[in-house]
Amino acid sequence: MYYKLIRENSLLGDSDVRPKEVRGTIYQTSHRFSRSAGIYQEYLTPICDTLENADHLVPALIYNVQVTQSPKFKRLLPILCQVPGRSGIRFHRGTKPEHSKGCILVSAADEQNLTARWLNEQQDHQEIKLEIV
């Protein structure tokens, strides 16, 4: 499987295997109790910390990201496309794993930053790909 090969090579640090179109990576760094902390990086530059509910982790694959209006939160938010067996997986603000049933949590400032950054790229017709390892 293509995605499995990318994920295994990324864990080994082999950046030459990673497709150039992948914009950034979320490294799920620690799993304790009901939380999974991580870090989002773009081209080896740390952008923000992430938090997921450990009971509902997003599978480690490469995803397209789009910015769309969230019916639940009533604002523009990034969404991961084609998460296996799930839908509506967004990046939104939150500080505790209980604030999510599968979404990726970031700080309020980081939510605004990521939304603005990815919305600009989307409006420029750039495809946004993100890898989760």
Domain ranges across the chain? 2-132
Which residue from 38, 34, 33 is spatially nearest to 51, judged by alpha carbons? 38
Please name the residue that has the structure tokens 């919305």. 119
Report the distance separating Cα 12 and Cα 96, nearest Å: 30
Return left, alpha or beta for 76; rule: phi > 0 is left, psi -120 to 50 is alpha, else beta. Answer: beta
pLDDT, tens digit (0-9, with 9 covering 90-100), for 2-27: 222 233 334 434 444 444 578 799 99
pTM for the full predicted model: 0.81
Question: Span 112-125, mean pLDDT?
Answer: 96
pLDDT, tens digit (0-9, with 9 covering 90-100), for 29-59: 777 777 899 999 998 899 999 999 998 999 9
Angle at 27 between CA 35 and CA 104, to 5 degrees: 50
Question: Span 58-77, mean pLDDT?
Answer: 96
On the question of pLDDT at 72 being above 60, the answer is yes
Question: Span 76-96, mean pLDDT?
Answer: 96
